[in-house]
A and B are shown apart, each in its own frame.
Chain A
Amino acid sequence: QAVLTQPPSVSGTPGQKITFSCSGTTSNFGGNPANWYQHLPGTAPKLLINNNNERPSGVPDRFSGSKSGTSASLAISGLQSDDEGDYYCAAWDDSLDGWVFGGGTKLTVL
């Protein structure tokens, strides 16, 4: 059972904007930012969002993040078929003294 809660799946059509949700607690999101990762089949996970809403160099501005209270979200605009894969939220957890991940949301592009 993952510490952060994500819906198991989401789907969209090319060009659409979709949003992923991630729910945490005060011990993680209460005092720490959210990071988001993309995990495409057969590849290493890739950091998409730092510090709630910062894109690392090379990440397209189609990807954006936000956090409010103990919930975070990732949005992808202009959905592309190459975006199909799994998306994970993560944060440091003060109570567990370690990093925690969500269970991941599988994106299907119809």
Chain B
Amino acid sequence: EVQLVESGGGLIQPGGSLRLSCAASGFTFTDHWMHWVRQTPGKGLMWVSRIDNLGTSTNSANSVKGRFTISRDNAKNTIYLQMNSLTAEDTAVYYCARKANAWGQGFDYWGQGTLVTVSA
């Protein structure tokens, strides 16, 4: 059974840093690109960042570029999201999601999410 389990969320002051983790199991981790998607309170989903299956290529949304860094440890079947210079606008539930391999397919598995609250 495919499982994605996020951790690392919490309350952080503006300007602070936080690292989220997503532990994957139940599939061949190195076969899939992985993503972070967030949902801000009362708003919709927003794609945050992605990493290829080997960890050699990444990209992020413009709103987090330069502040957030996605990485992965294929030996641990885990992806990470290092978040720096956090602002209130980054308050959201952060989901990790697995991208299905075929072109045209979407995010076929999601974790339950971890809540990040940026507040003084």
Per-residue CB contact flags for chain B residues 71-104 toward chain A (1 = under 8 Å, else 0) read 0000000000000000000000001010010111
Given contacts A51-B104, A98-B61, A99-B35, contact A88 B44 (CB under 8 A): yes
Q: Is A24 an interface residue (CB 8 A)?
A: no
**B110, A45: Cβ atoms under 8 Å?**
yes
Contact of A45 among B50, B61, B95 (CB under 8 A): B95
Q: Is A60 an interface residue (CB 8 A)?
A: no
Q: How many residues of A contact B (CB 8 A)?
A: 28
Q: Closest CB of chain B to A107's CB: distance in Å?
A: 14
* Size category of the binding interface on chain B: 20 to 34
**A46, B110: Cβ atoms under 8 Å?**
yes
**B62, A44: Cβ atoms under 8 Å?**
no
Q: Is A110 an interface residue (CB 8 A)?
A: no
Given contacts A37-B106, A50-B105, contact A101 B111 (CB under 8 A): no
Contact of B104 among A43, A46, A50, A104 (CB under 8 A): A50
Q: Is B47 an interface residue (CB 8 A)?
A: yes
Per-residue CB contact flags for chain A residues 71-100 toward chain B (1 = under 8 Å, else 0) read 000000000000000101010000011111
Q: A35-B105, A47-B100 are in contact. List 13 more A-B contacts (CB 8 A).
A: A32-B104, A33-B104, A37-B45, A46-B110, A50-B104, A56-B108, A88-B45, A90-B45, A98-B50, A99-B37, A101-B44, A101-B46, A103-B44
Chain A residues within CB distance 8 Å of chain B? 2, 32-33, 35, 37, 39, 43-47, 50-52, 54, 56, 86, 88, 90, 96-104
